[in-house]
Every structure is written in structure tokens, then in C-alpha cells.
Amino acid sequence: MPIIVVADHAHINGGQAKVAIESALGLAARGHAVTFFAAVGPADPRMGPAGIETILLDQVDVTTTNSLARFGVQWLWNQKAAAALGELLARHDPEETVVHVHAWAKALSPSIGPVLAGSKAPVVFTMHEYYLACPNGGFYDYPVSAACHRAPVSLACVSHNCDSRGYARKLMRVGRHVLMRNTGMIDNLAAVITISRLQREVLAPHLPADTQWYDVGNPIDAEPLGHKEDGEPGGFVFVGRLSAEKGAGLFAQAARLSGQRAIFVGDGPQRAELEAAYPEAEFLGWHDPAGVKRQLRAARALVFPSVWYEGQPLTVLESLALGTPVIVSDICAGREAVADGISGLWFRSGDPASLAAAMTRLSDDTTARAMSRAAYDGFWADPLTLDRHLDRLERIYREVALRPAHITASAPAAALRSAPLT
């Protein structure tokens, strides 16, 4: 089956790109003719030898541009992306091809919407975030570091600055969102894939009532290493971007309250501030994937204090797969993977005292060891492997390729959509 994967980036710079690229490689290995279309290079070096055709636009994204003013035209309406995607689709038989969109908001822009809507090829859309419903992609109010419950593009939304960099950029986001909604991005989608139950609950009110939903968990890159040895458990570790929405400062505050040391693996805009305010904390900087796994395997617990919804935090699942329990915010989708009191603990989002209490509970070695074994056993009883992820994608591709655009899903299709995350 010819499959066109659409993403902002052709290299791994985060969980979203990682899933798009790893699934493309897996599909190619299964014999599918995969084309990877992206705005920003370079291409992952594995794609060429795997037989994946890559089409790169040699553009930048919103996080790497030297001038947002100059980049604004591309961000609002990337005409080059629309033309190139149209040419690519014209080379493929729509009766045989499936288009799978993973990302568009950082570089490709809403311009690809009319191209997708005008194609007869079925379009599958994986929701790694919330950009189809929310202008800033996260239902998150950056200035106050809290979830936002305003209706998207309502007067309350438009008049309020929720952007991390200022109201002018918020208005650009609103303009882009209006373009997205009115020029075809969500028209005639054959399938929308969500990666957590929370994500679907948040998105469903904002997408068409006849949206065809599917639950497909992201694959986790992990090996069954067995239970940890019965030595003294390590410390409390945070992995990721050191920023307000990720709860980095909340973790540092809770660690001080509980008398524990906060260990940060990662970097971000809050690092200098946190290093000055919490000299007792340990800041290890970014690690490569193997280094992150070593830190997680050695940790007493991963602390995941994110104060926004998230999609499906891969770090939470990687930690459980390594036998490390997780302390997780009760507002984010990561809670779905953690059995509270068994494989980790939930705490009240944004509450440092609640997080400190959870850390104090897990500072007991016996409790930490028991939760470690439960975390490992729970994950490997039903692992989110790449093969299972690909099996599910192929089933969805076959269904949407066979389903006429005007026909609603059959009973077996409905059963597939309501099946548990795999």
C-alpha cells in the first residue's frame, strides 16, 4: 500500500517526530511504499536505506526561525508546502494511497488543509497535541501556568493572552486557527487517531460529530530487562524540558518540602532560574536516549508534574517499562498509564504539598521496591510495542481505504474504534 506520511520534521526532535519516523520505518520494513513529506530537514539517516522516499522543503520551523516577523507568512500559509504536497498526491492513485498526517503546526501551516480536503485519498490524522481544536495547541494558559477552559476562538479566548511570548503572537495563532478551520484541514478526515482517552474527551466537542475516532497508543522503545535488583532505590528524577508547563519548578519546590533531592535530566528556559533558586538540586542536562534510559532505570521514581493535558507522555511509559514507578499529575494523560498506589502515585496538579507527600511516601524503600515490580509487570503484561502499533495502523489503513467517503463505519469498524489502546 502506498502511504504518505506528513510531518513538520524529518528528523527526531521530540516524541511527535519520533513516532512518525519510527512508524514509517516499520511500515517500510513490512513492504509498504512509504513517502515521508516534511518541511524541515535533515532526513533521518535510516529512511534512505529503508527505501523511504523523502520530500523535504528545506524550511525552518517556528522554534528555529531567526525572525518571527519574516517567518509569519510561512506559519500562517505555507504556499510552498501546499504546492509540493499537491504535486505529490497527484503522482499517487487515490484509490490505493493513504495519507497519514502527524504534524503541521510548527512549519507546514494550514495551507495543506485544502490540498488534503481536495484529494480523494483517505486522510488519517494522529493527534499528538490539540491544534485541531485549540489555537495554541494545548488548552494551556502560559502566563498563569494552568489549563485553559475557554471556548476556542470565542470572545473570551481571543481577548485573553494565553501565549508564552505575548498577545501579538496569540493573535497570529488565532488567525492561523481560523484559516485552519475554514479552509479544509478537518474536512473529510477518514480517521482521527487519539493516543489517550483524555485527549479524545478534550477534542471531541470541537470536531465534527461524525468524526471517525480510533485509539492507538504510541510505540515504546524498550526491552524487557527484568525486575531491578534489590539494592537501595535511587533518587527522584525529572526528564524533559525545564519549563513552566512541564512543572519543573513545582518538582523543585516539592523536593525541598519533602527533604529530597530533585534530579533534572533535560534543559529549557527555566534552568538558570531553577539552578539559582534550588542549589541543592542536580541538573544533568540533556542525555541521549540510552542515557535517559540509564537514568530512569537507576531512579527511585520518575516525577512527571506536567500542568497541562499532554497527549500520551512517552517518558511515563518508558519509565514503567524499565521498572521505575511514576509520580504523575492528575490532570495529564500520563495518569492513564499509572495505577495509583500500585505502579506509582497521582498528585493534585499544581500542588507542591501534594507532590511532596507523594515523594515522601515513595522515599520508603519497601514501598519503592513494591511499586517498581508492579510498574514493570504492569507494562510488560500488555506492552506497547512497535509491532502492535503497526498492526493497528494497518488495520485502520485497510478500513479507510475500503470505506467509501459517504458511507459510515460498519459494525466491525465501530468495534475496532472502541477497542482498548494497543
Statement: residue 408 has pLDDT above 80? no
Q: What number of other Cβ atoms are within 10 A of residue 63's Cβ?
A: 10
Residue 217, all three cell numbers: 497508543
Residue 421 binned pLDDT confidence (cut-offs 50, 70, 90): very low
Statement: residue 363 has pLDDT above 60? yes
Statement: residue 419 has pLDDT above 70? no
Total-model pTM: 0.88
pLDDT tens digit string along 73-102? 999 999 999 999 999 999 999 999 999 999
Above pLDDT 70, what percent of the chain? 95
Handedness of CA 130, 131, 132, 138 (dihedral sign): positive
Residue 188 binned pLDDT confidence (cut-offs 50, 70, 90): confident
Q: How big is the chain by its Cα radius of gyration, in Å? A: 22
Higher pLDDT pick, 14 / 250? 250
Mean confidence (pLDDT) of the chain: 92
CA distance 37 to 245: 30
Q: Are 351 and 195 in contact (CB under 8 A)?
A: no
Average pLDDT, stretch 55-74?
88
Best CA proximity match to 186, nearest among 203, 170, 199, 198:
203
